[in-house]
């Protein structure tokens, strides 16, 4: 059976701006569960080994979607580089939740999709966004977090925060591209105006969906105790720790191998088994 890979599908979102998504699925008349992958901070849909992971999900019988947030710094013309740092600086959690909603709306209209089976997979900050969206949107009945944060309050503190407020911008170095990536103060203002909505702990407790929490024990960006905290908050969740795995489960950019890294392969297999078991 042929594997279809639709790349760079334009998604329109009147609340933010247009962005791109990819869909991977088998050419079949059967309706397929929709699995949407949500990238994290400084992430994008084509980073590292995400394409290989997408193919594995499609081969397993899922309609797998990954996308770029509208304000992640990539553009419609160049989804592979951070060519629009002004957009990156103007990103916030409201925009990301709106974009994710637009993706769900778009692909639930696809004739290949079983709208009764919708799963979000969120990596890192995308995990926090996915948790909130799962609580807010009753269409979602499966939730998987990969190296997820347990709070979206990940802002500068103390003097650094005061300087941000005074200057209106702070910069974070992208270790890979060496770009100084701006964050405008509107990001924090948007968070402060929506504190209740952006409460990841509350959303985890309230979310009705089946939940799988995956984390590496050697995660250098998000401590494993955040996964353990999420597990405590969601009584019906499953916690799956991968010994010695890092934040990206062995993947890096660029990823030149035709095989998934060992840890990300384990992650993918676990996700596939979980969805097949819970969404029978």
C-beta atoms surrounding 156 within 10 Å: 15
Distance between CA atoms of 71 and 86, rounded to whole angstroms? 9
Distance between CA atoms of 15 and 145, rounded to whole angstroms? 26
Distance between CA atoms of 112 and 126, rounded to whole angstroms? 25
**What DSSP assignment string belongs to 70-93?**
TTSS--SS-TTS---HHHHHT--H
The pLDDT assigned to 280 comes to 87
Residue count of the chain, please give it.
280
Question: Which region holds residue 199: left if phi is over 0, alpha if psi is between -120 and 50, else beta?
Answer: beta
Total structural domains within the chain: 1
Query: What kind and span of H or E run contains 23?
Result: strand 19-26
The pLDDT assigned to 257 comes to 98
CATH number at residue 266: 3.40.50.1820
Cα-to-chain-centroid distance, residue 21: 13
**203 touches 93 (CB < 8 A):** no
**218 touches 246 (CB < 8 A):** yes
Distance between CA atoms of 66 and 84, rounded to whole angstroms? 20
Residue 28 belongs to what domain range? 3-278
From first to last of its 280 residues, the chain has per-residue pLDDT tens of: 799 999 999 999 999 999 999 999 999 999 999 999 999 999 999 999 999 999 999 999 999 999 999 999 999 999 999 999 999 999 999 999 999 999 999 999 999 999 999 999 999 999 999 999 999 999 999 999 999 999 999 999 999 999 999 999 999 999 999 999 999 999 999 999 999 999 999 999 999 999 999 999 999 999 999 999 999 999 889 999 999 999 999 999 999 999 999 999 999 999 999 999 999 8
Would you say the pTM of this structure is higher than 0.85?
A: yes
The pLDDT assigned to 1 comes to 75
Distance between CA atoms of 24 and 57, rounded to whole angstroms? 8
C-beta atoms surrounding 196 within 10 Å: 7
């Amino acid at each position: 059976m042929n594997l279809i890979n639709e790349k760079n599908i334009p998604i329109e979102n009147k609340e933010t701006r247009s962005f791109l998504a990819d869909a991977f699925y088998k050419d079949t008349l059967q309706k397929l569960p929709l699995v949407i992958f949500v990238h994290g901070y400084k992430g994008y849909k084509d980073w590292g080994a995400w394409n290989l992971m997408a193919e594995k999900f499609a081969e397993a019988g899922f309609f797998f979607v990954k996308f770029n947030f509208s304000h992640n710094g990539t553009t419609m013309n160049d989804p592979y580089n951070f060519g629009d740092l002004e957009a990156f600086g103007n990103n916030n959690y409201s925009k990301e939740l709106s974009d994710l909603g637009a993706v769900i709306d778009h692909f639930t209209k696809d004739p290949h999709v079983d709208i009764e089976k919708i799963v979000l997979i969120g990596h890192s900050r995308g995990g926090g966004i996915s948790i909130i969206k799962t609580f807010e949107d009753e269409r979602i009945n499966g939730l998987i977090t990969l190296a997820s944060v347990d709070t979206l309050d990940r802002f500068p503190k103390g003097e650094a925060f005061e300087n941000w407020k005074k200057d209106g911008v702070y910069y974070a170095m992208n270790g890979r591209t060496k770009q100084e990536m701006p964050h405008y103060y509107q990001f924090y203002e948007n968070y402060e105006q929506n504190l209740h909505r952006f409460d990841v702990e509350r959303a985890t407790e309230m979310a009705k969906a089946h939940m799988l929490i995956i984390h590496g024990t050697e995660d250098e960006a998000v401590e494993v105790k955040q996964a353990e905290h999420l597990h405590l908050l969601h009584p019906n969740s499953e916690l799956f720790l991968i010994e010695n795995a890092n934040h990206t489960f062995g993947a890096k950019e660029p990823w030149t191998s035709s095989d998934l890294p060992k840890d990300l392969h384990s992650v993918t297999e676990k996700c596939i088994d979980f969805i097949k078991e819970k969404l029978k």
